[in-house]
């Protein structure tokens, strides 16, 4: 683990620097103390933000002694011991990848904030569209009184406990259309006449298919599938139908906005879980860090 060896090397350097400060202090060499303290601070920067906090506490100890009177300056060994103890806490932090975990937490938090902002914007626009739809259709037509008593979830999530992942699944449009096509297929014996408006399309399709296969049954099936998969087909379980057959366009826009917002909210929920887990893992180490910092 190269990262560990690097951290250990830096920590060793810090300890030796602190010891150097102490020796210079004991010798009463003020300039050497300042130089050595600067070296400690430079090493602390290499250790990252948290290493900096820990190691700067070493510099703090030494600096306080440097500012002290001659009696304290004589106690070089005690300074070395104190510096080594604090620096050892930095070594403890290194193998656990503390800085990396903390940076990961901050990245996740940054993503959380971004998605929170975008989902709020989506919701705001969707609320506005809903208000416009209400104004257009009338309040009583788009209200809680119109909710269906037989609602079935068509937007669900998939939880993967191994990967600790939540993904949103929209079963709208494609799956329902596929179901309807499947229902049509077994009825080979009963042929339904096409409405006049659709006959021309079916004939055209038949002509095209005849050129290829010369099989009329297959052609009619193809035309049925095409009709079912047309975008104008309205799902029977679409919640939009709770509010009537001819809903205002603004309501469709609101629906689209809320669908997008739900996708973002699911991602937010997942990030929240991950942040909480990461926070739980980091809490003991941060407490240790703060207590070490406060002790100085």
- The footprint of other proteins (CB under 8 A) covers 105, 109, 112, 116, 119-120, 123-124, 126-127, 130-131, 142-144, 147-161, 166, 169-172, 238-240, 242, 251, 254-255, 257-259, 261-262, 265-266, 268-270, 272-273, 275-277, 279, 282-283, 286, 290
Q: From the CB of 41, what's the least distance to other proteins, in Å? A: 22
DSSP secondary structure letter of residue 169: E
Which CB sits closer to other proteins, 80 or 266? 266
Q: From the CB of 91, what's the least distance to other proteins, in Å? A: 23
Which CB sits closer to other proteins, 168 or 194? 168
Q: From the CB of 215, what's the least distance to other proteins, in Å? A: 39
Q: From the CB of 261, what's the least distance to other proteins, in Å? A: 7
Q: Determine the Cα–Cα distance for residues 14 and 42; give it in Å rounded to an integer.
A: 9
The answer to whether the CB of 95 falls within 8 A of the CB of 4 is yes
Give burial (CB, 10 Å; 0-12/13-18/19+) of 112: middle
The answer to whether the CB of 228 falls within 8 A of the CB of 177 is yes
The answer to whether the CB of 33 falls within 8 A of the CB of 24 is yes
Q: From the CB of 101, what's the least distance to other proteins, in Å? A: 11
Which CB sits closer to other proteins, 17 or 270? 270
Rounded to the nearest angstrom, the gap between the alpha carbon of residue 57 and the centroid of all alpha carbons in its chain is 35
Which CB sits closer to other proteins, 164 or 207? 164
User: What does each C-alpha distance from 6 to 55, 85, 93, 247 come to in angstroms?
Assistant: 16, 19, 13, 65
Which CB sits closer to other proteins, 68 or 244? 244
The answer to whether the CB of 164 falls within 8 A of the CB of 274 is yes
């Amino acid at each position: 683990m190269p990262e560990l060896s690097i951290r250990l090397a830096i920590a060793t350097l810090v300890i030796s620097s602190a010891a150097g400060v102490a020796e210079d202090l004991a010798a009463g060499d003020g300039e050497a103390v300042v130089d050595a303290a600067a070296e400690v601070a430079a090493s602390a920067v290499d250790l990252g933000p948290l290493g900096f906090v820990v190691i700067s506490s070493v510099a703090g100890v030494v600096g306080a002694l440097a500012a002290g009177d001659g009696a304290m300056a004589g106690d070089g060994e005690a300074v070395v011991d104190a510096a080594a103890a604090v620096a050892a806490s930095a070594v403890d932090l290194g193998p656990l990848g503390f800085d990396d975990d903390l940076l990961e937490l901050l990245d996740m938090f940054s993503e959380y904030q971004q998605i929170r902002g975008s989902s709020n914007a989506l919701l705001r626009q969707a609320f506005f569209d809903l208000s416009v739809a209400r104004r257009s259709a009338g309040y009583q037509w788009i209200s809680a009184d119109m909710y269906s008593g037989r609602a079935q979830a068509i937007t669900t999530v998939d939880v993967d406990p191994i990967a600790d992942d939540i993904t949103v699944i929209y079963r709208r449009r494609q799956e329902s259309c596929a179901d309807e096509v499947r229902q049509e297929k077994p009825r080979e014996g009963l042929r339904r006449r096409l409405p006049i408006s659709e006959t021309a399309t079916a004939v055209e399709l038949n002509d095209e298919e005849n050129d290829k296969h010369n099989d009329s049954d297959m052609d009619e099936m193809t035309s049925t599938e095409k009709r079912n998969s047309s975008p104008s087909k309205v799902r029977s379980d679409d919640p939009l139908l709770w509010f009537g057959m001819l809903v205002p366009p603004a309501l469709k826009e609101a629906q689209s906005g809320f669908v997008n917002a739900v996708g973002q909210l699911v991602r937010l929920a997942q990030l929240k879980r991950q942040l909480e887990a990461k926070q739980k893992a980091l809490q003991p180490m941060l407490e240790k860090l703060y207590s070490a910092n406060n002790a100085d």
